[in-house]
A and B are shown apart, each in its own frame.
Chain A
């Protein structure tokens, strides 16, 4: 099993055991909805609301050899290093465009990553909004969105997608990509 999957397995097991709501976002969720491409980033969104929950999470991570390397209470992102596998992952506390509410969590999808690894990934609709709402959005992100719109053409909840895109201020750009 690749080191990344071993690392993810340990991290996701911790989240499941400790009831930390999470979902994989970004490049590792993409092959389930859109195209297949290389990526170096492993991104997860974690539903953490209070400082107390955040401190608990940081302690939990350290207990299983994940070391927070970049972290500040004001930063919506924690970079963690798996000391065993030497793999870095990014935990997003406030992923762009994603309102981490009950609806977002209900819409997550459980997918199989390996023979014995199952994980929650962001819904296709929230994936699209998250990609478009990135402050550093580039060509690759827009291509990812187009690939998801193409592959999931008849499966998307368009009402939900439009609503979330509007809330995130990216409805116009979504409509442009849909039209092209």
Chain B
């Protein structure tokens, strides 16, 4: 399911009290699509469907309530949408060089993962020994 669509539903749910019919009108999507997405999001605990008690006839209305996880999802989505590129051109050029180095290792029959493990073992040992000397 598209993240954009989940976010649109959550945006609508937090901006006003709305049911399925309101959501269909606001988003201008097919009813079947909205119901499918709502069921999925309910399973994922992004929303709760709260039944509203009415005396009148017909199918009881259900309000869409954004859960704490839904709020967290929406916040993350908004942050992500606004987040620009962090790396500078030089940072990315550095990454290209690193990738070329890894490619050359593979071409010469080495395993990048094995070298990665060796590198990480050294790094971990340095970390452990520095922590030990701090304790002493």
Contacts and interface: CB of A to CB of B under 8 A. Distances in A.
A169 B77 contact: yes
A135 B80 contact: yes
B95 A4 contact: no
Given A150-B96, A150-B99, A167-B2, A142 B87 contact: yes
A38 B112 contact: no
Interface string B62-103: 000001110010001101110111111101101110111111
Most buried by B among A2, A147, A177: A147
A173 B87 CA distance: 11
A35 B91 contact: no
A64 interface: no
A150 B117 contact: no
Chain B interface size range: 35 or more
B45 interface: yes
Contacts of A139: 86-88, 91
Nearest to A176: B85
10 contacts: A30-B116, A32-B112, A32-B113, A37-B119, A147-B99, A150-B95, A150-B96, A151-B99, A151-B103, A177-B87
Given A74-B67, A177-B87, A177-B92, 14 more contacts: A2-B117, A32-B113, A34-B102, A35-B95, A38-B120, A38-B123, A40-B124, A49-B43, A94-B44, A113-B113, A143-B98, A147-B99, A150-B95, A173-B83
